Amino acid sequence: MVQKNGRLLILFFFISFSTWGQSYDVKCKNMPLNELLVELRGRYDLQFSYDDRLLSNYRVTLRQTYSSAAALLDDVISGLPLGWEKMGDVFVIFPVENPSLPTQYLIRGQILEKGSGEPLPFSHVVIDGHPLVTDLKGAFSYSARDDSLFDVKASHLGCYVLDTFLIAGSFHKLFLTPSVYSLPEIVVKDNLIERSVQIGQTSGLINLNSYIAGYLPGNGDNSVFNLLRLQPGITAAGEQPNDLIMWGSYEGTSRVTLDGITIWGLKNFNDNISAVNPFMVKSIDLFKGGYDATKEDLVGGIVRITGNTGNRSHTKLNFFANNQLVNGKVEIPISSKSSLIVASRRTFKNPFDADDIAINNLNSAENLKYRIDVVPDYWFGDFNIKYSLHGDNGNLFYISAMGASDNFKYNAYQERPRFIIHQEKYDKNKQGGASLYWSMNNGSGGRSHIKATWSELHSDYGIDRSIESIRFNILANRVDVKSQTMVREISLDYQYELAGNQLHQPAIGVEFFRNELNLTEDSSEVEYFSLSDAGNRIACFVQDEIFFAPRLTLKPGLRVNHSFFTGTTHIDPRFGVEWKPWSALKINMAWGSYHQFLIKSSLYDESGSFRYSWTLADEENVPVLRSQHFVAGAFWNQNNLSVSIEGYYKTVDGYTRFVRLRRINENVYDGEGRSYGVDVFVKKDLEDYNFWVSYTLGRSEELFPYFPEQDYRRAPHDQRHELKVAALARFLQKFHFSATYIYGSGFPLYSNYLSTNYIEPDYSRLDLALVYQFNFNKVKGEAGVSLLNALDHHNIKYSSFERIPLDQLNSIYVDAESVEFTPLVFVKVKF
């Protein structure tokens, strides 16, 4: 019995060992799965159960050896909607249904202006509670799961808010009604209106309404800059004619663009003639600082003006005239999808009066008490043309071009007890530019654009100054300087933005820049200085908007620049946070690193006057500007009352200043600056009234090696306080009254480049306007009057103040651009 049991045990171990050691060798190529199982069944005596027709649809390629049948089957059905289970000795193969993925529903659309069909760029869209901003052509896209019906709210400054439901799958065109749009039969009531100013959406950003600008004082030709100067953080005191001072930025560190064309800055006067034709303006976006990686390379601020695209249904004519210039625009439909705009302005008289001549005491200080007001001779003209083509699915193509020129000059002459002062000065500027833009929406919700721009400035400057001694009958301290400047920029930009969803909104882009610069300067008809440079640069960025929580948004971005001119690469990380703890309150924070390659260097001459000239950073004589921005603010909006408070801190390294004490003594210094402060903005909107108050408390400081005390001192554009008040009212349906008041505590006027002593005249200006709207058949128009500086307060302009040194103690101050009380009467018609 024992012997028999031993034999059975040996047989059991032998069978077990044989089964454990079984291997399965499979070699097949593109074989139907049912045929492979038949082959395996015959070769290895395996038993299978399956649907022969189902498995014949799957083909398998294998070349492998397996240690078990289970491992073999796992590999055979890998990636197929099949499963297996062993029941006794039979391997049962059955179909497996994959869990269905949630359906993605895509909504795409475009925001347009009712009546004109103009795209409304950078409008705000809220889809199912999720906020979005449209692109330049007013397009948006958004994808979500499970629900094909979207709750959409669309708004644009100056338009009624649209609240509707949209179904996914088609391209939607949403038309917003402007608050100033004439409705002959329908009266819109109890609808919210996005008013004149939108602030607090993103750090440092202000959106401005071009509709309301036409009713401000000075509206005739300068609606853009008159509206800009009333915003917090934009310096209005000093009436800077060539540039905008934003959060303590130096001249040349901020940029104004129209359809992407750089407005280099003519010798225009912001209280009279704008550098941008208001007939061409659709929307204005102001970035004071802390902007994201998609924006260009500057250490100051950005004003982005988007132009009209023209009427595509019928020809429209617009005409404007005041007592200084005329302006005309025609919009011609080329087809149902395209249009052409042509606009031009010309001065027909010198905007300055002989009555402006006066001799006033500037200050009781002995070395600063004399001042000469002179009458400049001034001429200005510009021309704009733009062709636009609209696609069926919201695509947009346009070509925009502009040219402008002005000629500013004056002769100053004054007899003093011992001297006769002679000074002649001229400043001629010509600028031109063009842009090509092509923006596309694809079927997946992505949006891309290609933009090419060219802009160029030619400037001629000359000054001839002498002081004649009456006693000795000789000329002394002669200055004879002539300079020519040409600056040019060519750029090519490609950006792609993916469809937004509940998680994020990514975007990428690459840009190419070429800058060219020619500078020459003659002193007493001898070439003193000559420079010709050209440099190429490439930049790329990646940006994302991450919706971290329902009320928390993170905006990380990275911008990388490589300058072929300097051979250096600069990396600029930028980061923003937007938090909305509840519906009425929003908190924003931003930090960013910024570089600037085309800059303005300052020249401080022997008379104590500042001049600025474009230069191209080469990292040898002129360093690349480097800056960091820190911005934080809170915005509260409820019951048509808006309150915003925003603080900033900015540092800049690499300022270049030429200090010329005498013709043979000139040194170049690299300096640094910092600015910090807080903006407060309060706005109340009623049905026929708009009020707002903005206040800026700020400080701008600089440090250069030539300062005797080697400590930060007030920068030339530093101003501690600035208060601005604006009120607009409509009465009797057709009358619009507006008033603006600006107070500034003043800039420091140093007696000389070594002294720390200065005076600080304040700035005060009240402007008033009354506008009447009229309709005669098909002709619509406005007529009105503006009173600039209605109280005739004597103000000093920041960049025009020049010194003529008489001797070691006395200087004459020439305020060549000073305009006192100025009435402007205008008429504007369109048909």
Across 468-477, average pLDDT: 71
CA dist., res. 830 & res. 327, Å (int): 12
Across 19-23, average pLDDT: 58
pLDDT value, residue 269: 47
Residue 203: both structure tokens together: 């750090």
Write out the H or E segment, with its range, that includes residue 74.
helix 69-76
pLDDT band, very low/low/confident/very high, at 408 (cuts 50, 70, 90):
confident
pLDDT band, very low/low/confident/very high, at 653 (cuts 50, 70, 90):
very high
Q: Across 347-351, 765-769, 788-792, which has the greatest mean pLDDT?
A: 765-769
pLDDT band, very low/low/confident/very high, at 672 (cuts 50, 70, 90):
very high
CATH class label, 206-830:
mainly beta
* pLDDT, tens only, 586-629: 999 999 999 999 988 877 765 566 777 888 888 888 899 999 99
Place of tokens 């009712």: 114
CATH topology of domain 104-192: Immunoglobulin-like (2.60.40)
pLDDT band, very low/low/confident/very high, at 266 (cuts 50, 70, 90):
low
Residue 748 contacts residue 716 (beta carbons within 8 Å): yes
pLDDT value, residue 367: 39
CA distances from 248 to 275, 290, 692, 749, 811 (A): 22, 14, 22, 16, 28
pLDDT band, very low/low/confident/very high, at 18 (cuts 50, 70, 90):
very low
CA dist., res. 318 & res. 780, Å (int): 10
pLDDT value, residue 690: 83
- Residue 355 CB partners (closer than 8 Å, separation 6+): none
DSSP 504: B
Q: Between residues 803 and 682, which one has the greater pLDDT?
A: 682
Lowest average pLDDT, out of 3-17, 569-583, 777-791, goes to 3-17
End-to-end CA distance of the chain: 122
Lowest average pLDDT, out of 622-631, 709-718, 756-765, goes to 756-765
Place of tokens 């391997």: 91
pLDDT value, residue 391: 87
Residue 524 has pLDDT above 60, yes or no: yes
Q: Between residues 297 and 240, which one has the greater pLDDT?
A: 297
* pLDDT, tens only, 277-319: 888 988 888 999 999 999 989 999 999 999 999 888 889 999 9
Residue 528 has pLDDT above 80, yes or no: no
What pTM did the predictor assign?
A: 0.79
Residue 784 has pLDDT above 70, yes or no: yes
CA dist., res. 615 & res. 728, Å (int): 43
Same topology, domains 20-95 and 104-192? Answer is no
Spans of all domains in the chain: 20-95, 104-192, 206-830
Any alpha helices (H) in 577-663, and if so which ranges?
A: none
Residue 751 has pLDDT above 90, yes or no: no
Q: What is the DSSP string of 681-747?
A: EEEEE-SSEEEEEEEEEEEEEEE-TT-TT-S-EE-TT--SEEEEEEEEEEETTTEEEEEEEEEE---
Q: Between residues 505 and 510, which one has the greater pLDDT?
A: 510
Place of tokens 């651009």: 817
CATH topology of domain 20-95: Phage tail protein beta-alpha-beta fold (3.55.50)
Centre a 10 Å sphere on the Cβ of residue 808 and count the other Cβ atoms it contains.
8
pLDDT value, residue 570: 96
CA dist., res. 738 & res. 787, Å (int): 11
pLDDT value, residue 258: 92
Residue 529 has pLDDT above 50, yes or no: yes
Q: What whole-number percentage of the chain has pLDDT above 70?
A: 83
CA dist., res. 625 & res. 594, Å (int): 8
pLDDT value, residue 678: 97
CA dist., res. 435 & res. 258, Å (int): 9
> Quick check: helix, strand or coil at residue 152?
strand
Residue 43: both structure tokens together: 């070769």
Residue 191: both structure tokens together: 């609808």
pLDDT band, very low/low/confident/very high, at 804 (cuts 50, 70, 90):
low
pLDDT value, residue 464: 82
Q: Between residues 404 and 275, which one has the greater pLDDT?
A: 404
Across 342-353, average pLDDT: 78
pLDDT band, very low/low/confident/very high, at 368 (cuts 50, 70, 90):
very low
When the pLDDT of each residue in the chain is averaged and rounded to a whole number, the result is 81
pLDDT band, very low/low/confident/very high, at 724 (cuts 50, 70, 90):
very high
pLDDT band, very low/low/confident/very high, at 372 (cuts 50, 70, 90):
low
Across 550-565, average pLDDT: 92
Across 206-225, average pLDDT: 72
* pLDDT, tens only, 43-73: 888 888 888 888 888 888 888 888 888 888 8
Residue 379 has pLDDT above 60, yes or no: yes
